[in-house]
Structure 1
Amino acid sequence: MTEPVPAHAGVPAAELLAPRVDLPLTAEEAAYVAAARAPNTRRGYASDWREFSSWCARHGHTPLPAAPEALSGYITELAGAGARVGTISRRLSSIRFVHVMRDLPDPGDARRVATVWEGIRRTHGAPPVQARALMPPDLDDVVDACPATRTFTTRPAEGDLAGLRDRALLLVGFFSALRRSELAALTVADVADHPRGRVLSIPRSKTNPYGTEPELVVLPHTARAARCPVTALTAWLDAAGITEGPVLRRVTRGNRVADGPLHPESVNAIVQRAVARADIGPGPWSAHSLRAGHVTYAHQRGASDRAIAHQTRHRSLATIGTYVRIDDAWEDNSAALLAGL
């Protein structure tokens, strides 16, 4: 017989991400609680919790507190349905996080759950699917495919603002090696002039969530004006009339620039559409392809891991190696040296 569901099991997911307290949080405390996790992280936790709660409802389990057999059954079903180990790991983290925030025992500590999870990882573990690196010459084709003119039925043709924005996003994203969330959050105030190009200040990042360390990223002038990130960025800002606020913004179907910033997911979609226009081949492609392309292309052109990490802001040089793609497997390789035999 299924035990009755506790009253707090039906609390909205967003509220469950706040700590359990005896007295209500003040507005100021609630604001700081919300700021304790990145918005994307909070959205992910909430989505995962809703999915787990729905699974529990279908199978007659109580989601909060979750019994070990409920959690082990859930991850077993996910694995059987073909979910990737990384996806299951994220779901587990979300469920455990909600329990911790409600001062409840962590169901992931149960030996039943830990052993099933270990078996899933050993059986289904595989390298994560990595975004394909977007770099020259493919990047050149993608940039060239950005539309230059937009036509209308009720007024004369105009310069395509979305095309200008896409060129700026692609070139700035490649040369700066910014993450998609950082590209979306970039403001005019973060861009400083420099004789050799621009310097971008990143107030907060994945590796610097508290903003305790200044992070500066270089955006250089390049020899080819058509491939210069500074030129592309300036052209976009001038045409869009942007003098303050978000750098990258939505462009309406009427060729007008919105006030708010792009969502990080929109940055992803823009890169994917741009690649599709150029028809350069299968991916997977994403906004991360620009960052991966920077690392891979810089490595191929002789940049040291330390120099690359200076731009990407990786804390560990070992991480750089995970970005260097299949082509690097052929460098200084004994089998390749034997190919002439």
Structure 2
Amino acid sequence: MSGNRLPVLADVEVIEGELVEDDDQALVQFALPGVDAEEPLTAEAAEDLADSRPERTSTTYNEQWRYFKRWCAAEGRRPGPRTEETTMVSYISHLRRHGGRDRTGAPVSSLRLAMAAIRDRNADAGFAKWPPTRAANALIRKQAARFAAEKRAPRSSPPVDRARVAELQAGVTASSELARYRDLVILHLGYRTRARRSEQAAYRIDSIAFVMLADGGEEMIVGKRTSKNDHWSTGKEYTVRDRVAIAVVRRYLELLAEYGQADPEMPLLRGITPKGGLMPVPKTGIGLTGHAVNRALKRMIARTPDFDAPTATSHGLRAGVPADLGAQGYSGAEILAITDGDWASEKMATHYAKSGARRGGRGSEGQAQQALDALTIAAPPDDGVGAHQ
């Protein structure tokens, strides 16, 4: 096995379904009664199908395909398409043993995503349902059994609350003012809009608007396209009145304008060259990918030696506000209402609230905990608790 290091495949959202590459030449195979499968699609139908693929799916699959090609190059294998079944199985085996954050094995979700991306690229090239999945699925089941035996639970990022945001931003040092403010925008918008990494990557220049208030104050309106498992909604607006967050975003936009890169349709978060310059927008029209957003946060953590949550990911920014509200004593239901339904149920909001309460030195609150606390047991009748230890 080559010593080349591969990108860590962790904390990825599993995308289900067989999807078509966002390409004008994409072909779709189907069979309906009375329909000639050899009859070509009309130009309008081809365009509709190409446009129907969510942008985040294409981005994620393309990134996974690049990881696979990099591994193939290191191992002297041909990625395809047509990808050999043995090549895909060998790659899944490599990730099973050496992937993940700690390089001791990628989680099951990452293995499934890698396999889905390879099969998706082969389907686009005309090799539907290829490579076969039986052997790869056997390895994935083996990984699931291994994780269960080792009692590895799905990992959750520690919340990056406002204290941690302040600590990270104090340590933000970059190759240029542009790079510094790009990182600060990731911190502040991730926290203020409770954004997933994919949602941060989807921000455009016109996602931001500044509004002057009658009392002389100012607020920033942030439009966020919200997603979960690739079901994109029409979006959601966030009102931000924090002066630091507004100043950070405003300065970053000014720097983009100095590069002539502040057109409304352009991506907000951009790649930065090693010397601190602005990278061009790739053909995909995307600035930073979701994984690049996560890597940027990881670099900030690495540059902050005493940071108390070294395993935090960009998802921790999404958890920051509910953790801070939990530290103030708000319940999961109250947090869900305050954040206007940023989560589909109380469960995750309550989870983050408890984390914030513990971090703030508070115990768990709510009727359920009070009911459990009321189940007291009398001390032994002689010397008291601990007398016979």
Q: The TM-score by the shorter chain falls in which range?
A: 0.5 to 0.7
- For the structure 1 residues 181 and 115, does the alpha-carbon distance in structure 2 shift closer, same or farther, using more than 3 Å as the test? closer
Q: Is residue 331–residue 350 contact of structure 2 (8 Å, CA) maintained in 1?
A: no
Partner of 1:249: helix, strand, or coil? coil
State the Cα deviation string for residues 2-57 of structure 1 (Å, max 9, x = none): xxxxxxxxxxx999x96446456666616734742422333256458769999xx9
* CA distance, structure 1, for counterparts of residue 223 and residue 42 of structure 2: 33
What's 1:287 paired with?
A: 314
What's 2:220 paired with?
A: 198
What's 1:36 paired with?
A: 53
Which of 347, 359, 365 is the equivalent residue of 1:318? 347
Task: Tell me the C-alpha RMSD between the 2 structures.
Answer: 4.8
1:182: Cα distance to partner?
2.1
Which of 244, 248, 269 is the equivalent residue of 1:248? 269
Q: Is residue 18–residue 33 contact of structure 1 (8 Å, CA) maintained in 2?
A: no
* CA distance, structure 2, for counterparts of residue 73 and residue 259 of structure 1: 35
Q: Is residue 177–residue 312 contact of structure 1 (8 Å, CA) maintained in 2?
A: no
State the Cα deviation string for residues 137-167 of structure 1 (Å, max 9, x = none): 23212212234995xxxxxxxxx23223322
What's 2:245 paired with?
A: 229
- For the structure 1 residues 208 and 320, does the alpha-carbon distance in structure 2 shift closer, same or farther, using more than 3 Å as the test? farther
* CA distance, structure 2, for counterparts of residue 73 and residue 146 of structure 1: 40
1:127: Cα distance to partner?
1.8
Q: Is residue 325–residue 353 contact of structure 2 (8 Å, CA) maintained in 1?
A: no
Is the counterpart of residue 273 in structure 1 residue 299 in structure 2?
yes
* CA distance, structure 2, for counterparts of residue 268 and residue 316 of structure 1: 25
What's 1:155 paired with?
A: none
TM-score by length of 1: 0.65
Q: Is residue 49–residue 94 contact of structure 1 (8 Å, CA) maintained in 2?
A: no
1:1-341 equivalence runs, <5 A: 19-20=28-29, 22=38, 29=46, 32-33=49-50, 35-37=52-54, 38-43=57-62, 46=65, 79=96, 82-84=104-106, 85-94=108-117, 104=129, 118=141, 120-125=143-148, 126-147=152-173, 160-194=177-211, 195=213, 197-203=219-225, 205-206=227-228, 209-211=231-233, 213-219=234-240, 221-222=241-242, 225=243, 228-241=244-257, 242=262, 244=264, 245-252=266-273, 256-257=277-278, 260=281, 262-264=287-289, 265-281=291-307, 283-306=310-333, 308-309=335-336, 310=339, 313-323=342-352, 331-332=363-364
- For the structure 1 residues 322 and 100, does the alpha-carbon distance in structure 2 shift closer, same or farther, using more than 3 Å as the test? farther
- For the structure 1 residues 51 and 121, does the alpha-carbon distance in structure 2 shift closer, same or farther, using more than 3 Å as the test? farther
Partner of 2:239: helix, strand, or coil? strand
* CA distance, structure 1, for counterparts of residue 224 and residue 163 of structure 2: 28
Q: Is residue 159–residue 320 contact of structure 2 (8 Å, CA) maintained in 1?
A: yes
* CA distance, structure 2, for counterparts of residue 107 and residue 77 of structure 1: 18
What's 2:10 paired with?
A: none
Q: Is residue 218–residue 311 contact of structure 1 (8 Å, CA) maintained in 2?
A: no
1:106: Cα distance to partner?
9.9
**Partner amino acid for 2:325?**
A
Q: Is residue 168–residue 233 contact of structure 1 (8 Å, CA) maintained in 2?
A: yes
Higher helix share: 1
1:90: Cα distance to partner?
2.7
**Partner amino acid for 2:207?**
D
Unaligned runs of 5+ in 1: 1-12, 151-159
What's 1:156 paired with?
A: none
- For the structure 1 residues 279 and 191, does the alpha-carbon distance in structure 2 shift closer, same or farther, using more than 3 Å as the test? same
State the Cα deviation string for residues 116-155 of structure 1 (Å, max 9, x = none): 75554233232223333222323212212234995xxxxx
**Partner amino acid for 2:348?**
T
Identify the range of structure 1 (134-143 vs 19-28) with the bigger mean alpha-carbon deviation. Answer: 19-28
* CA distance, structure 2, for counterparts of residue 49 and residue 255 of structure 1: 29
1:290: Cα distance to partner?
1.5
What's 2:7 paired with?
A: none
- For the structure 1 residues 298 and 268, does the alpha-carbon distance in structure 2 shift closer, same or farther, using more than 3 Å as the test? same
**Partner amino acid for 1:263?**
L
TM-score by length of 2: 0.59
Counting aligned pairs with the same residue, the percent is 17
* CA distance, structure 1, for counterparts of residue 173 and residue 91 of structure 2: 47
1:327: Cα distance to partner?
5.8
What's 1:5 paired with?
A: none
